[in-house]
Structure 1
Amino acid sequence: MNPKAAEKYVLLKPSATHEELADAARLHGWVLHRAGDREAPMRGREEVWATSDSLTAIHYVEDGLTDERYLWVRGANLDQVVTQLRRALLAYDEGELIDLADEEEEHNERVKAIIRVGLVFSRYNGEVLALYRRYLSDKDPLLRQATLFAIGCRALPEARGLVEHVADNDEDAETRAVARRMLAVYPPTSSS
């Protein structure tokens, strides 16, 4: 079984509140198992909740590196739990994230958009790979490096070839170096 098959990521919108998550947890009988440190902003913060049957874990993550907040849901009943979370919290849906990355024109917004895509998509999606490919061919090396970071968030096996191509062919030496460092730790594909 694919280990990523039993997980989903939900990116919270800036207006979503932690209190809404706590309210949803109370409503559905979820139990808080572990709360992280709010005093470590660069490391971020994580809380781990479990459904009452202990079959599904809900990780609330405040990512100190990307400044994004997301939920990592893993275990059984994923669709049911994700639906409950989406009803309780303002969150991006996957299509919205793809559209935003596709439409953004300003550099900083494009960087945010592609990183958001990288945080959420943990399984193959042809539209996402096409976005990665397009962003990796942008003239701006910083955007290409941000795209490599996005790819590295979930290290999709299908995206490894894109990283290999950048490592071998990118016109910018630093971008090639970033890709080579990624490949040193990128999980190999079954054909590698």
Structure 2
Amino acid sequence: MTDLVRLVPRMPFGRDEMKQLAERLGWTLHAVQEGEPDAPEGVPFEMIWISVDQKSAIHWIEDHLLQVNYIGITGPSRAHTEVLLRDVLDVHSPNSMTDLFDSARDADSLMNSVRMLSIQCQGDYDPQLFALLRWAVNDPSPIVRRVTLLAASTISWAEIDPLVQYVRDHDLDETVRAEAAQVLDIIRSRATRAATSEKTGGEE
């Protein structure tokens, strides 16, 4: 989705609450997209509404791979819709994510925080959010580090490559190092495709 604005609601907020919010704001339900039986693993569930001005599409996304529910906004008036949603809905920010990490008391809560962080990191580079990724990828628990690598595989920031490379070369856990190598291949292949696409587009 091009220029997708992502908002991660602070819990608890689920599908039913999203339906109620859409009805209250007068949005029109446009589509419901569920993964087909033969769809690739991790294809998210989506409900899509059209805003009152018909210039924004609001997506409720249940990402089964990352285990995160979030709101995506597309369309010419996405900035206006984002402001509207921030006014009526409590959503995460870099500061609230830092608080979430600070309050994590066990591996499970930290992994949940990392999953939400992965959605926050889909926009422009943010040093505060990147610091949280570095924190998580150095956590004593190998499973937390592995979940952080999964999150890193979805992020296109240039700073991700050297971070994952460091894990591949220096992590004490063999499984973590192996998964870091796989993630490094993913992000470098994605970067190569993006560069090729940009070059091809520039030549047209």
TM-score interval w.r.t. the shorter chain? 0.7 to 0.9
Give the root-mean-square deviation of aligned CA atoms: 3.0
Give the deviation of 1:157 after TM superposition.
2.6
What is the CA–CA distance in structure 1 between the aligned matches of 2:55 and 2:157, rounded to whole Å?
25
Q: Which residue of 1 aligns with 2:101?
A: 101
Alpha-carbon contact 1:98-1:117 (below 8 Å) kept:
no
The number of residues matched between the two structures is 188
Cα distance between partner residues in 2 of 1:181 and 1:54? 42
> Is this contact kept in 1: 2:152–2:183, CA < 8 A?
no
Gaps of 5+ in 2: 196-204
1:188 and 2:160 equivalent?
A: no
CA deviations over 1:46-102 (Å, ceiling 9, x no partner): 112233444322210122234331111233333321222234444333421222123
- Give the match for residue 201 of structure 2: none
Identical-residue share of aligned pairs (%): 25
**By how many angstroms is 1:175 displaced?**
0.9
In the alignment, is residue 168 of structure 1 matched against residue 165 of structure 2? no
Asked whether the 8 Å contact 2:94–2:128 carries over to 1, the reply is no
TM-score, scaled relative to structure 1: 0.80
The equivalent of 2:180 in structure 1 is 179
TM-score scaled by length of structure 2? 0.76
1:36 equivalenced with 2:33 (yes/no): yes
Structure 1 counterpart of 2:92: 92
Aligned mates of 2:82, 2:92 — CA distance in 1: 12
Structure 1 runs of 4+ off > 4 angstroms? none
Match of residue 140 from structure 2: 139
Helix, strand or coil for the counterpart of 1:34? Answer: strand
Secondary structure (helix, strand or coil) at the match of 1:188 reads: helix
For residue 8 of structure 2, the aligned residue among 2, 7, 11 is 11
For 2:76, the aligned partner's letter is A
Q: Structure 1: any 5+ residue segments left out of the alignment?
A: none
Shift of residue 35, structure 1, vs aligned partner = 0.4
Which stretch of structure 1 is more off in the superposition, 167-176 or 70-79?
Answer: 70-79
Larger RCO: 1 or 2 (CA < 8 Å, sep 6+): 1
8 A contact 1:56–1:75 mirrored in 2: yes
CA offsets per residue over residues 106-132 of structure 1, 9 Å max, x none? 111111111211122222110111121
For 2:158 and 2:75, the matched residues in 1 are separated by: 21
1:133-192 per-position Cα deviation (integer Å, ceiling 9, x unaligned): 12222222211111111222333232222112212222222111111111222132899x
Q: Which letter maps to 2:18?
A: L
Q: State the partner residue of 1:154.
A: 155
Aligned-pair CA distance for 1:13: 3.1
